[in-house]
Structure 1
């Protein structure tokens, strides 16, 4: 296909078995360098846990592939910027004791005639092994990054870089067909404006023939897509600025694309903080996105902050680890690092579970996460703990957590420390939840607020909660529980019962 290359069903394994069979100590701190057409990024993950903890993250907008479509060579200034960045990253990795360091290069390095020479220079002078991957492997790794963030992802992953755009199917934790194309903005800069739409449509038609058009969701990976999403937030006055799992309808995306085309880019930059080098590519990326929506007709567009780098981390994981819930793993990690009594969160969850006999799986995982996180803000000044909890969780680097779920979890933790949310400066974010969900989060929070009063080794040793059919909540105390059931505990118990709409009794 013209401008399009597919996987052809062959197995692609550029890293070899040694990459996936590293000694356990190498998994404690995993370093990844991504040499792209526009940016060079260095990320260090603090271990190959199911939910990535970013120990270090730095990006340089080198512009390695700028003008390559017309010259066939890497951009000279971009080469020096990239080499300088890689020199710094190699030094940082050594100082951090990063034993596992994987460097991948994508479209610019693999397609430029002087790409091999630059690769040899890096490897000889800096001692970094560079894996120059083909487009199909780039698509696979990007799709793995999406699966790291969305274990249940089902749809089409679309990763746009400077010189290429890759597509990959994901469903049931697996990656299907993959394809690469030359729809990167740097390449599109070489096409005359009057011919651009036809050029894009021609390539998209080939992509659609190979990948099909029956994908409900598009998972958008890449800085240009994230910039468009950030602009959509600005246009609509969206109250949260976390890009991961931000969702757009096709109609909203079209409106934003039209708005970008009519706006002053410098003004948009100043309002959103998008870099000039990124903003330069946004109009062309917008053209591609608009035509993609028309061709593939998705019902939803989901932004992923995870891509190739997270896909490489996913590569390290065992099948068992991949099946774990990223949200629960992140909450466990946070509890272990920051709570006064690590391990108490799980016991608190089981103590409170009788309050919610009809809890759904979706609500249950949020309750588990809330209990694990309920005591992780104890170092914050008491006057600010409630809102600090909300702020932390709504901005946290957590995967498998939609924006409404972030607000739900944040509200539950807010009410862990405070009965009322009135006059909260975060009130605009509450609008992301319907009223019944807000109430449910309040009940979860007040339940934790009460349960925390039994912060012994196990709250079950203090008593047992039973929700009776006649709308009564019974708390049956043990002798140890009676000693702990003071005035404050009684007050919190009654506040919880009031929010639940039940009559409470203590035995």
Structure 2
């Protein structure tokens, strides 16, 4: 049952730790996803709560990461639109009002980080501060007022960190990273988990709107700059990863234009043709109307037309085969920078699910037992699907505190809207639907209906089977190292056979029997139960 969306790359199988035989997955052999929890090691615990500040040309942002180090949760996230780079083309100096606002924001962020126990903040400044003649003076003011030393990076380093941020969410991904800020735009190659060539340019919207000569002059400048960047990078016709607030704003408008049902920007996919349609849509509509329709802020929507001009020329110059939006960028790249390679190589989805089970499940470790028990139902599934089965088993019991009437929909909402890396939108819906059926036989009247188009009927059916298999297996509650017995699936004969272990057999009461029969019915199979030997 193969997902119709294109997967990232065959090279990612090494990093996600899955292979095609269904038994000896590398992640099992090296301790994950069901073996040694890497987040319990000191090297991972040191990353349990990390504060990062990004002083950009348009905004100043604090992000505090928390949780499983390989797939951290956003413990705190605050952004102040300071427009430090506004007007620099004329003055060569930082926007005076922006300087005041940025300094006040940094004072606040420093105090917040102390209260949250992040340890020393990792603080980076990009194009506006590095290009402004009063940039060093601003850094000195920040140090005197807050004790924070700004790490002012050049364009290539900015590109590298942004690319690493993408790798945090897509281990082993390949393609071209395009990170747009207020005053600059960076491009970087990634291939099999490695950052390659990278270039920087002054194609940020704040700089473009200061160019004299109007749209014609901007277009010529954009084309000339991108031609030079292509000459340095060479052909780039794989996936284009979009990083940065202006790209996310365009993606929100694309979602609104298409009436797309899942409002999660990370891993949102667009075709070049769809992006061109949205660029035309932006040109044909009033900005206030677009802002109201998409929820983009007034400060951000003002930059969208210039960003759209750049994106249009990028498509013409590099001709990517498809486009993916990344919510992960330079801030996540700075977190990735601190990770040991062993942690980087872990699958972010599985690590996040492991951490959730460890923290919230009633019986941590039982997800492994369930996975091996129900695995025969999915032995012919491709690697990327078995990965989702693992994730579902790890999450099968993390929502037990919710009211029984709402558990099913809560599980679905959590899976489809949670901040999880390494998940396509169709995979989010598959995972959510499986967890919904973990708590409910039926999905009639649930919120799933709006997201129905993101899955094929075959995938919806398989997700239901997975959910009902977990629903049955959860009735056989033993220890985390229990042997439940064996389930055998004969798809040609349409027979689902169950042979319970002597330890599990007494747990096979009438409710468990009803759940097993429901699982068999979802497979259109005959249920056969054999007595334990």
TM-score range, shorter chain: over 0.9
The secondary structure found in structure 1 opposite 2:454 is coil
Map of 1:506 onto structure 2: 529
The answer to whether the 8 Å contact 1:43/1:58 transfers is yes
- With 211-220 and 133-142 compared, the bigger mean Cα shift is at 211-220
> In structure 2, how many angstroms separate the alpha carbons of the residues matched to 1:233 and 1:95?
37
The answer to whether the 8 Å contact 1:50/1:321 transfers is yes
Map of 1:40 onto structure 2: 60
The answer to whether the 8 Å contact 2:159/2:200 transfers is yes
Map of 2:277 onto structure 1: 255
Shift of 1:273: 1.8
> In structure 1, how many angstroms separate the alpha carbons of the residues matched to 2:378 and 2:182?
50
- With 56-65 and 354-363 compared, the bigger mean Cα shift is at 354-363
Give unmatched runs, 5+ long, in structure 1. Answer: 1-21
> In structure 2, how many angstroms separate the alpha carbons of the residues matched to 1:398 and 1:35?
25
From 146, 149, 153, give the equivalent of 1:133: 153
Asked if 1:210 corresponds to 2:232, the answer is yes
> In structure 2, how many angstroms separate the alpha carbons of the residues matched to 1:116 and 1:324?
39
Map of 2:30 onto structure 1: none
Map of 1:480 onto structure 2: 503
> In structure 1, how many angstroms separate the alpha carbons of the residues matched to 2:123 and 2:93?
21
Shift of 1:357: 2.1
The answer to whether the 8 Å contact 1:228/1:286 transfers is yes
The secondary structure found in structure 1 opposite 2:458 is helix
The answer to whether the 8 Å contact 2:176/2:239 transfers is yes
Map of 2:358 onto structure 1: 336
Cα distance, 1:441–1:459 mapped onto 2, change above 3 Å? farther
Asked if 1:236 corresponds to 2:258, the answer is yes
> In structure 1, how many angstroms separate the alpha carbons of the residues matched to 2:207 and 2:484?
67
Deviations 1:32-71 (A, max 9, x none): 1000000000011125711121111111111111111221
Asked if 1:111 corresponds to 2:135, the answer is no
> In structure 2, how many angstroms separate the alpha carbons of the residues matched to 1:40 and 1:383?
42
The equivalences for 1:68-467 within 5 A come to 68-191=88-211, 192-193=213-214, 194-458=216-480, 460-467=482-489
The secondary structure found in structure 2 opposite 1:175 is strand
- With 369-378 and 421-430 compared, the bigger mean Cα shift is at 421-430
The answer to whether the 8 Å contact 2:227/2:317 transfers is yes
> In structure 2, how many angstroms separate the alpha carbons of the residues matched to 1:149 and 1:500?
34
> In structure 2, how many angstroms separate the alpha carbons of the residues matched to 1:336 and 1:141?
30
Q: How many residues align?
A: 486
> In structure 2, how many angstroms separate the alpha carbons of the residues matched to 1:56 and 1:109?
25
Give unmatched runs, 5+ long, in structure 2. Answer: 1-41
Deviations 1:149-196 (A, max 9, x none): 111211100000000000000001001001000000011011221311
> In structure 2, how many angstroms separate the alpha carbons of the residues matched to 1:131 and 1:77?
22
> In structure 2, how many angstroms separate the alpha carbons of the residues matched to 1:72 and 1:306?
30
Q: TM-score, normalised by structure 1?
A: 0.94
The answer to whether the 8 Å contact 1:62/1:82 transfers is yes
> In structure 2, how many angstroms separate the alpha carbons of the residues matched to 1:498 and 1:23?
47
C-alpha RMSD of the superposition: 1.4
- With 171-180 and 187-196 compared, the bigger mean Cα shift is at 187-196
Deviations 1:294-319 (A, max 9, x none): 11111111100000000001011111
